[in-house]
Amino acid sequence: MTEIQRVKYGLLQQFCIKDLGDLQYFLRIEFSRSKAGIYMSQRKYAFDILQDIRLTCARPDKFPMEQYLKLTPNDGELLKDPV
């Protein structure tokens, strides 16, 4: 922590900066921390898009793919000519 503070102080001497605390949003990606790790989500970004086009009250429809499907690199067949 001492080294982090020293770097912040050095940057402050050269640039006009401020510490915004723990990362929450960056490039429209929401970050949250837990004991299991760091989670990234674009939930807020998707909600903002729905708000802009006034579809926040729309009802959801069927999803064309099985929900919560866990894919692995070994699923499916390889393409014969991937080009």
Has residue 24 been placed in a domain?
A: yes
How many domains does the chain contain in total?
A: 1
d(CA 18, CA 29): 21
d(CA 79, CA 83): 9
Has residue 45 been placed in a domain?
A: yes
Tracing tokens 């009802």 back to the chain, one arrives at: 59
Has residue 31 been placed in a domain?
A: yes
DSSP letter at 75?
S
Which pLDDT belongs to residue 74? 85
d(CA 46, CA 59): 15
d(CA 54, CA 57): 8
How far from chain centre, in Å, is Cα 11?
A: 27
Query: Which pTM value belongs to this model?
Result: 0.48
Which pLDDT belongs to residue 31? 93
Has residue 39 been placed in a domain?
A: yes
The string of pLDDT tens digits covering residues 20-74 is 888 888 898 999 998 988 889 998 898 999 999 999 888 877 778 787 888 888 8
Q: Which two tokens stand for residue 64?
A: 């064309």
Which pLDDT belongs to residue 3? 93
